[in-house]
Structure 1
């Protein structure tokens, strides 16, 4: 597919926007159809995410309240609006570029039509900005890794040993920097930053670890939380994949649920359990807590990655590492004017804007390197327009070769 870029002008000579994005329809008909179809497509995609967000907030706060429902419904509406705006910006933008310049311009016609729509992220709620930017970064990273053709990269992405060692090192960095920052970033373990035991309590006088409960309860509680989170996450993933087909084939849901990744759930459970266990063992061994315990615990617990090596977890780890390192740097050098200026920028929105447009480019040129999740959300939210454009582009290339 990369050859398309090299021979773009020859391939697209005499080709109009209809041939690539809306065969059999005029531009006006296509855009009118997309305005309605993409709304339902985005609703289908966001419903499982909203359910996941709602249950996780309720689980974290140990309550189901109107406040949680109102917050998640607001975020739900914002996500639908954001996806709808991006999809239709791309639809209208592709046609507008063709009619303005009289041809389909290499790369720019694929990547930039959605740019005006992606700018809406600046006005989205903080949770939407954060979650969407992380998701699109993970999509970008997976596509970039899979599409590299260098022999070393090819070997690294196929080797379980290389992947596990890399994950262990990244996990160690997360443990190291997350302990040294005030900010709390989402990850599957959280180092205790201070002693939670009440001072003056005689029963806690000889307690070494920072957690309040006994070590066994502390470890099992973390494993139970990660097990619950993993099961909910897997359920949401299967719902996202199944919802478009459930109306026609109700059995699709049961088939999907039977194929849940229980190894992934086992990985999360063991990962958190090992992290807490190693922290406790190290503290008891030297009779005090060291600031480097979380670093070593992060390294050792990373071994559990061998249970379920996959791009989603690896890329999410890279994202968490980058965020924690940045938090550490921005807090340590907070007085520097450069850091203050950078902190005023909405990095989440900027990341989304750049990489969402790259996602459109990847859908056309590197569909084989994109994750199933990325293909699913891109096609569902665009009402299959992204899939149609990719297929038409491939047919154009094959017919000319």
Structure 2
């Protein structure tokens, strides 16, 4: 498929926007149709996401309140609005580019058509900015790795051993920097620090016994993993469940229990190693979290997958940046970077790359990314990708 971009001019000579984007419809009718139908498409995708968000807020705050419900509804509305704008920006601008320039301009007509819509992210609430930026970064990492054709890259992405070793190193890096920063980033383990419990009577810095501390962490990760898997299945199976409700049982039966086991063991190993090291020497070392992160990373071999791998890379980069900000925050360069909305900038750049990938590398994209672009665009992304593929096959 990458050959399409190399021979774009020959392939698209005399081709109009209708051929690639909306066969059998005029631009006007197509855009009006998209404006109406993408509202439900985005709601359908983000309802399970918001339900997961609501459960996590209730779980972390140990209470149910109108404030939590209102916050979730507001964030849900923002996510739907953002997805609706991005999707329709692509549909409208793809046609607009063709009419303005009289032709479809290389791959920029595909990758840049959503740009005006992606800028809306700068006005979204913090949670939406952060969650969407991380999601699209994960999509980018997975697609980039899967689409590389170098022999060593092909071997590395198929090797469970290499994947596990690299994940262990990333996990160790997360443990190293998370221990040395005040900011708390979401990850599946969190190093305990002395100021988090000044009254601890154990060298491990936790209030209860080591056994309780380890089991509590494993229970939390097990619960989170099950909720995450259930939400993933609901998102993937929502259209089928709506037509045939009993399909929900089939979706639940396909939950990745190995993934849940990985999260549970990952957190349990991290806590066990940190407690063992602290109890062994009767004091905590600043490198305990690094060692624990490395050893607990072995559990990745239970359920190696790109989602966890890319999420780990995101957590590692964020923790490194937090460390730089706290240690060197007085430098003018760091101050200037901190004033920028990195999450929104990442979303703008990578979401447009996502559109490019949907056209040229659909085989390399995750199922989540394909589901997101197709459901939220009312299958516009799939239609455009299929039309482009047919054009390429017809030319060959």
TM-score after normalising by structure 1: 0.98
Structure 1 distance, partners of 2:334, 2:9, is: 44
**Shift, 1:247, TM fit:** 2.4
Counterpart position of 1:84: 84
What is the DSSP-based 3-state SS (H/G/I as helix, E as strand, rest coil) of the residue aligned with 1:247?
helix
Q: 1:164–1:303: 8 Å Cα contact kept in structure 2?
A: yes
Question: How is 1:168-247 mapped onto 2 (pairs within 5 angstroms)?
Answer: 168-199=168-199, 205=201, 207-247=202-242
SS state at 1:362 partner: helix
Partner Cα distance (2:183, 2:44) in 1? 33
Q: Tell me the equivalent position of 2:284.
A: 289
Deviation at 1:376, TM superposition (A): 0.5
Equivalent pairs, count: 396
Q: Which of residues 337, 341, 345 in structure 1 aligns to 2:336?
A: 341
Judged with a 3 Å threshold, the aligned counterparts in structure 2 of structure 1 residues 15 and 239 are, in CA distance, closer, same or farther, namely same
Runs of 5+ in structure 1 lacking a partner?
A: none
In 2, the alpha carbon distance for the partners of 1:76 and 1:250 equals 24
Instruction: Return the alpha-carbon distance in structure 2 between the equivalents of residues 238 and 213 of structure 1.
Output: 36
Q: Which residue of 1 aligns with 2:93?
A: 93
Q: CA deviation at 1:196?
A: 4.5
Map 1:241-280 → 2, pairs under 5 A: 241-280=236-275
Query: Which residue pairs with 2:318 in the alignment?
Result: 323
Post-superposition shift, 1:26? 0.3
Alignment-derived partner of residue 106 in structure 1:
106
2:64 alignment counterpart: 64
- Residue 51 of structure 1: aligned partner: 51
Which residue in the other structure is 1:143 paired with?
143
1:391 is aligned to 2:386: yes
Question: Given that residues 180 and 328 in structure 1 are in contact (C-alpha distance below 8 angstroms), is that contact kept between their aligned partners in structure 2?
Answer: yes
C-alpha contact 1:18 1:25 (8 A) present in aligned 2: yes
CA apart distance, 1:198: 4.5
Kindly indicate whether residue 18 of structure 2 is the aligned counterpart of residue 41 of structure 1.
no
CA distance 1:296–1:368, shift in 2 (3 Å): same
> Using the alignment, how far apart are the partners of 1:249 and 1:102 within structure 2?
46
- Shift of the alpha carbon at 1:193? 1.8
Q: In the aligned structure 1, how far is the partner of 2:9 from the partner of 2:190?
A: 52
RMSD: 0.9
Contact 1:195 1:211 in 2 (8 A): no
Q: Please state how far the C-alpha of 1:84 moved relative to its aligned partner.
A: 0.2
Deviation at 1:383, TM superposition (A): 0.4
* Aligned counterparts of 1:208 and 1:395: Cα–Cα separation in 2: 65
Provide Cα deviations, 1:338-366, integer angstroms capped at 9, x if missing partner.
00000000000000000000000000000
Residue 61 of structure 1 and its aligned partner are, at CA, apart by 0.7
SS at match of 2:64: coil
Distance in 1 (alpha carbons) for counterparts of 2:181 and 2:42: 36
> Retained in 2: the 8 A contact 1:208–1:289?
yes
Distance 1:263 1:124 in 2: 35
Q: What TM-score results when the alignment is normalised by the length of structure 2? A: 0.99
Question: 2 CA distance for matches of 1:198 and 1:172?
Answer: 26
Cα distance, 1:178 vs structure 2: 0.6
Structure 2 unaligned residues grouped into runs of 5+: none
Other structure's SS at 2:86 match: helix
Contact 1:196-1:212 at 8 Å conserved across structures? no
Q: Give, in angstroms, the shift of residue 252 of structure 1.
A: 2.5
